[in-house]
Amino acid sequence: MGARPKEVDGARGRASARSALAGLAAPLTVAALVALWQLVCSVGLVPSFLLPSPVAVVQALVADWPLLAGHAATSLAEAALGLGAGIALGFGAAVLMDRFELVYRAFYPLVVLTQTVPTVAIAPLLVLWFGYGILPKVVLIVVTTFFPITVGLLDGFRSVDPDAIDLMRSMGAGRAQIMRHAKLPASLPHFFSGLKISATYAIVGAVIAEWLGGFSGLGVYMTRVRSAYAFDKMFAVILLISAMSLALMWAVGMIRRAVMPWERAAGRDER
C-alpha cells in the first residue's frame, strides 16, 4: 500500500514528460529545418541569389520592417473587412438554407461551385470590374471565406437531434428559440473550425488580389521585390504572411475557448 502513491507520482511524472515532449515536437522540428536550411546556404550547395539563408531573411525583415508594417496594416484591414462580410453572408445563407429546403437545393450547389473556380483566375476580373481600390480585394476575400463558414454552420444546424427539436416544439418553443438554444450551440464547433480556415484564407486572398493591382499591401510589396530579384525580401514577406496567418488562427482558438467554456470543462473531466 505504501508504494502506491509513489507509483501514482511516477505515472504522473511520465505523463507530464510525454506532454512536454509533445509540446516541443513542433518547435524542435521547425528549428531543425531552419538549421538544415542555414547549413545548406552556408556550405554553398545553393546559390544565395536563389535561396537566401535564414539569417539574410531575418536581416531583410528587420531592415524593411517599417515599410512591411505599413503594407501589413493594409492587408490586415482588407482581410478583416472581407472576413467580417464573409461571416455575415455565410451566417445568413446557412440560416436560410436550414430554414427553407428549396433554398438549400437551389443554392447549395452554387456555394460549392464557388470553390471550384481558382481565385487567381477571378482576381483579374474583379480588378477589371471594380478597379484598383479596396473593393475587389474585399470581394475576393468574401468569395474565399464564405464557403467554410456557410458549410460549417449548416452542418452544425443539421447535426441537432430531431427528437430534441420535437421536444422543444412540444414545449411551445418557436423557431427563434430553437435556433438560439439548440442549433446555435451545436453549430459553434463547426463554425470555429470553418473560421480558422477562413482566417488564413483571408490573408492569402488579400495578398493574391494585391498581386494584380493596388497601391499598398503585402502583395504589392511582393511584386516589387520580385521584380528587383530581392529574394531575401521575398522570403521575409512570406515569413510575415505565415506569422500573420498563425496569429489569426491563435486568435480564433482563444475566442473559441472564451465562447465555449464547456469544452475546457469537458477536457478537465476527461483528465
Query: pLDDT tens per residue, the chain (271 residues)?
Result: 444 555 555 555 565 666 666 667 778 888 888 888 888 888 878 777 778 888 888 888 998 899 999 999 999 999 999 999 999 999 999 999 988 889 889 888 888 887 777 777 787 888 788 877 888 888 888 988 888 899 889 988 888 888 888 888 888 888 888 888 888 888 888 899 889 989 988 998 888 888 877 778 888 888 888 888 888 889 999 999 999 988 998 999 899 888 888 766 555 555 5
Grid cell for residue 78:
482588407
- Per-residue pLDDT, 134: 84
* Measured CA angle at 118 (ends 215, 75), to 5 deg: 30
Q: Answer left, alpha or beta for residue 172, where phi above 0 means left and psi between -120 and 50 means alpha.
A: left
* 3-class secondary-structure state, position 131: coil
What is the C-alpha separation between 182 and 165, in angstroms, rounded?
Answer: 8
C-beta separation of 122 from 143 below 8 A: yes
Q: What is the pLDDT of residue 240?
A: 92
Q: What is the pLDDT of residue 1?
A: 46
Count of C-beta atoms within a 10 Å radius of residue 30? 10
**Of 232, 246, 218, the residue nearest 55 (C-alpha):** 232
- Classify residue 117 as left (phi > 0), alpha (psi -120 to 50) or beta: beta
CA distances from 151 to 95, 103, 146, 242, 258 (A): 11, 14, 9, 25, 23
Residues listed for the chain = 271
- Distance in angstroms (rounded) separating the CA atoms of residues 232 and 225: 9
Q: What pLDDT, on a 0 to 100 scale, did the predictor assign at position 112?
A: 83
Q: In the prediction, which pLDDT does 15 show?
A: 57
- Res 266: pLDDT: 54
Fill in the DSSP letter of residue 179.
Answer: I
pLDDT for the residue 2: 47
- Does this model's pTM top 0.85? no
Judging by beta carbons within 10 Å of its beta carbon (0-12, 13-18, 19+), is residue 4 exposed, middle or buried?
exposed
Greatest alpha-carbon pair distance for the chain in Å reads 79
Centroid of chain to Cα 228: 30
Residue position matching grid coordinates 492587408: 75
Round to whole Å and give the CA distance between 143 and 202.
Answer: 10
